[in-house]
Chain A
C-alpha cells in the first residue's frame, strides 16, 4: 500500500494510446497477501520491516477511524431517529386508521368493483387516496434523505409494505412508466421490463401481503415533474373510471381496471414549503382525489442542537472539535449551507484528519469504549515500552499488547507523546513526575464537567431560543481569566467587545450568549427556575460535587416557596402592591443564588481546552487547517470540504511562482518575466483588461512579454553578427503556439469565454478578482 517513492521517474507526462480510449483497465487487483501477522514475523530485514510497519500503521489508523466513526455515526442516527419518533408514530397511527377506512368501504365482489362511479366532483372514499403531507421545514432535501429512509423502516416494522421514491423517479423523461417501474422494483424486489399495475395488484392479492397497507413515500414532491405526478395520482385514484377513459393516455400502460379497490395505496409526501405547493404542482382534478393529513418535522436548527448535544457533549469519551473548527462550522452552517449533512461530513473529515495526522490517535480507540481502566493500562504500557525503547535503542518494537492487540510502537509515537505541550505543562505542575493515569482521568473528568456545564447553560438558553451551537462555540472560546474574575461584569465587559467579532450577520446580538444566559437566569420566574433545577439535577448525575449542590439549591427553593406561600396567606389582607414587591425581591434573591452558584461552578471547573492535559489527541483544532492560511499547501478542512476551485485555480495562475519555486521567476516579484509559465502570463495579462479582451492586443502583449529578453541576453544579441531571419521566424512561431496552448488551457479551466459570432475578435472574462 505504501507508495514506493522514486524521485527519478516522473509520473507527470506519459502519452500513450490509452489516452484516446473512453475507458480502460489500468490494472487488476493484486492477489491477496498472506495474513499480515505471519508476514510481519518473517520479514526481518530493515526495509521489509519498515514497509510492514507502515502497513501496520495504516491498518491501525484505519481501525481507529472505523471504530470512532461508526460510534459517532450510530449516535447521530439514533438522535435523529429519536427526534422523529413522535412524528413517525403519528403517521403510523394515521396510516392504520386510513387503511381501516379503505377496508371498510371496500366493495365485496368483483361486479361492484367494475361499476362506474358517477361524477368526479363527489369522489367516493373508495377512490380517494389517503395522503400525508410531511412538512420538512427545510429547503435542502439532502438532510431529509435519512429521515424518509427511517420513516420507511419505521413503517415496515409496523407491518406495512413500503416503497421509497424520489423526485428522480418522477422525471418527465421516464414518465409515469418509469415511476411505476421503480415502484414495482421496490415492492416486488425484482426488475420488471413492462410495468403494469395489474402485476402489483396480483402480487398484492396473492401473497400474504393482502392485509397490509401499501405505502408510497415520495421525498421531495416539489421537485417532481408535475405532469408525471398528476398522471400517477390520477392513475392511482381514477382506476375505476378507466373503463371508459382507457382510450386516452393510459392506454399504453395496460392498467387493470379493478386494482384501486384491490391495491389500497397510501401516499406520504415530503413537502419543503407549504400546502400550497401541492396545489401548484397538481391539477385540480388530481387534488380532488387526495384526502390530506398534515405532519411536521423538526427544524434544521433543532436537529443540529440535538446532534451537538449527543455527539460533542454527551459522548465525551470520543474525540472532539476545537474552537476554530467549531466556529468555522457554525458560521458555515448559518451563512452558507444550512444542512446537517455538511456538518456531519465535516465531522467525518475532521475525524479522519485527526486519526491520520495524530500518531497517538489510537489511544482514542480505548477511550471510545469508555473503559477508564483499559485506557490506563494502555498508558502504563506506553510508558513501559518507552523505557524499553530507550534501553534497546531500536527503531520499533513488535509487542504483544496487554489487551491482546499486536501493538507496534514506533519511536516517533513515543516522542510525540512526551512532546505534547499540554503534557509537558502537566508534567511541570506535577513536579516532574509523569502521572499518565491521572493525566488521562483528569482529561476525562474535565471534559465531562465542561460538557455538563454547557448543557446546564443551554437549559437556560432554551427559554430565549439560544441555540446550543452558538453556546458551544462561545464556551470553547472562553478565556480562563474570565472565570477568575469575581464579578461576572468582567466577563460581560470582555464579551461585549470580543464576541461581537464572530457573530453572524443574521444575529443582532450585542452581547455574548453566555452573558445573555446569565441575565436570563436572573429574570426567570420561580416556576421556570424550578424546572431548570430539575433538569440540572438530571444533567449532573454522576458528577458528585455539582450534583449535591444542585440538590441543595433545589431544597432551598422549595423551602423558599413554602415560606413565601405562607407569607402570602398571612399577608393576604395587606395592600397588594407591597406583596408584589416582596415577592419579587424574594424571587430575585433565589435567582441571584442560582446565578452565583453557576458562576462559581464555571470559575471552579471550567478550564480552557488548551490547559487540559492531552487535549491535542482529543480536540481537533488545527488552526492552519482553516481560513487563516488560505493558500498554503497542507490539507485543510475548509478546502477539503468545499474545495473552492474558482478562487484557487485563479490563485494558481496568478501566483505560479509560489508553487513552482523556480529560481528564475521568483526574483522579480509581481513583474512579468518571459520565463514564467505561459498560461500564467496570459492570465495575468487578462487582469489588465475589462470584461472583454481584444484577442489581437492580448496576443501582442503576450508576445511582448515573452520576447522581452533579459538585459544580458540583449547585449549578446547586439554583439552577435546578423542573426538569421529564418531562426527568428521559427522562434516567433513557437511563441504563437505557446500562446495558443495557453488560451486553450484557460478555456479548459473555464476562466474565459471564447469569441462568438457576434464578437469574433473578443474573449470574455468570467472571473473577477480572487
Chain B
C-alpha cells in the first residue's frame, strides 16, 4: 500500500509537471506587460514595506508562542549532538533568537545573519574561539596551562577549527552555540562557506542552530555534511512572520529599475575615481545631453571622437589610458558600448537625461 502511495506520488508529480507545460503552450501567451501596472519607485516601496500591516498578527503570535513548548525538546536534541535546522514558511529569525536567549543561557551564543550579502566566516570563527577560550580560562588557570599560544586572528582556519574541536580539560559542557539565520542565504550559498560551516558544526565544542527558507536548500550539502557534520535534526516550524529583513536585498519585482538608486550608486563609484576619469565620464555625458534623440534614445558617441575630445582637453595622453578609464566604467555599468552601422564602437550611458543631469550635478559638487 505504502509503495503504491509512493509510486502514485511520483507519478502525480510528473503528471503535474507536464500538465503545467501543456497549459502553458496551449493557452495563448498573454501579451500584457508588467510596465502596464502603475509602477512604484523602489525607494518608496521600501518605505511602504516598513509600514505595512500584516494580517493575522494575533494568530501568528499564538503560533510562534506555541513553539515555546518545544524549547525543552530542542535543547535536549542539541545536547544529544544534533544540529537543529528550522524550516517552514515565514521568517524564523525572531523565533530562533528568542529560543537562544531564553533556553540557551548556559552557552555563549553567536548569531550569523546569512541573509546579508557578505559574511566573513574567518572572523566568526575567531570570535567563537575567543569565546571558548574565555569559558575555558577558569579551568586552565587551575591546570597551569602554558601561555604560548599566538592570538587567534593570526591563526589559520584549520588551527582555529582544531582548537574548537580539540579535547580540552573540562566537564564536557563547554559549548559555544552558533545560530545561523538563513544558512541558505546569498552570502553562504557557495560550497566553500558551507564546507566551513559544516566543519564548524562538527566541532566538539560547537552547537549549531540554523534556519533555512529555500525549498532546495538540501542541495547545498552532500551526505557527509548532512549526516555526519551538521547532523541535522529537521524541525518544521512555519511562522508566517513576514520576511522583513531577509527581503531587503531582493530586488522587488514591481518597482521601477529605480533611477534614484542608480544615480546614487553611480555617483559613489564616480567619486571614488580620479578627477581625470570623472572628466572623461563628463565628456560622454555632455555629448549625450547635447544630442538628445527624438524617442528618448541618445546619440551614441563614437570611441574615436571621445579620444580626440579627451586629448584636446588634456584628459588622456594615449588610447591606453582612455581604455583603462573605459574598462573601469564598463565594469560598474556606467557606460555601455554598441557598434553603429559603420562598424564603429559607440559609447552611451544607460540613464535617462534627468538622471544623468542629476548625476553630473552630484559629482560636480
Contact = CB atoms under 8 A, between A and B. Distances in A.
Interface string A322-352: 0000010001000101010110010011001
Nearest to B112: A23
A662 B103 contact: no
Interface string A1-39: 111110100111111001111111111111000000000
Interface string A648-689: 111011001001111000000000000111110000000001
Interface stretch (B224-232, B279-287, B316-324, B351-359): B224-232
A30 B135 CA distance: 10
A739 B253 CA distance: 10
Interface in A743-768: 743-745, 747-751, 754-755, 760-761, 763, 765-768
B24 A740 contact: no
Given A3-B71, A145-B228, A648-B236, A679 B89 contact: yes
Contacts of B234: 639-643, 645
Contacts of A653: 89
A505 interface: yes
Contact of B215 (A25, A501, A744, A749): A749
Given A13-B241, A29-B107, A743 B32 contact: no
A699 B233 CA distance: 38
A356 interface: yes
Interface string B54-84: 1110011111110011111101110111100
B111 A26 contact: yes
B100 A696 contact: no
B102 interface: yes
Interface string B238-267: 111111111100101111000000000000
A302 interface: no
Nearest to B66: A633
A2 B255 CA distance: 46
Contact of A740 (B45, B123, B124): B45
A635 interface: yes
B218 interface: yes
A567 interface: no
B108 A29 contact: yes
Contact of B224 (A142, A689, A694, A738): A142
Interface stretch (B90-98, B305-313, B341-349): B90-98
A513 interface: no
A741 B63 CA distance: 21
B241 to A, nearest CB: 5
Contact of A648 (B76, B87, B239, B241): B87
Interface stretch (A463-471, A517-525, A530-538, A729-737): A729-737
Given A741-B49, A743-B254, A755-B253, A696 B13 contact: no
B87 A4 contact: no
Given A13-B241, A761-B32, A766 B227 contact: no
B215 A767 contact: yes
A210 B228 CA distance: 36
A65 B80 contact: yes
Given A11-B97, A331-B3, A745 B242 contact: yes
A659 B239 CA distance: 9
Interface in A38-61: 54, 58, 61
Contacts of A331: 2-3
A352 B76 contact: yes
B108 A28 contact: yes
A25 B108 contact: yes
Interface stretch (B33-41, B270-278, B294-302): B33-41
Contact of A768 (B16, B54, B79, B187): B16
A22 B118 contact: yes
Q: In the complex, which of the residues A3, A25, A749 has the most CB atoms of chain B within 10 Å of its own CB atom?
A: A3
B223 interface: yes
B111 A501 contact: no
B127 interface: yes
Q: How large is the interface on B (under 10, 10 to 19, 20 to 34, 35 or more residues)?
A: 35 or more
B204 interface: no
Contacts of A7: 65
B113 interface: yes
Interface string A498-509: 000111110000
A679 to B, nearest CB: 7
A187 interface: no
B254 A736 contact: yes
A767 B73 CA distance: 32
Given A191-B158, A505-B3, A22 B120 contact: yes
B30 A697 contact: yes
A699 B254 CA distance: 10
A140 interface: yes
Contacts of B22: 690
Contacts of A678: 54-55
A737 B45 contact: yes
A63 to B, nearest CB: 11
B253 A744 contact: yes
Contact of A61 (B52, B76, B235): B76
Given A4-B102, A502-B3, A690-B21, A747 B119 contact: no
B253 A763 contact: yes
Given A341-B228, A696-B36, A737-B52, A24 B252 contact: no
A739 to B, nearest CB: 7
A168 interface: yes
A660 B59 contact: yes
Contact of B34 (A3, A27, A755): A755
A181 B49 CA distance: 51
A659 B238 contact: yes
Given A3-B99, A695-B37, 5 more contacts: A29-B107, A30-B106, A635-B73, A650-B215, A677-B56
Interchain residue pairs A-B with the least CB separation, the first 8: A690-B24, A11-B98, A769-B16, A690-B23, A643-B234, A652-B89, A696-B32, A3-B71
15 contacts: A22-B112, A22-B119, A58-B75, A191-B159, A641-B234, A643-B236, A645-B215, A645-B218, A652-B238, A694-B30, A740-B252, A740-B253, A743-B253, A745-B247, A754-B253
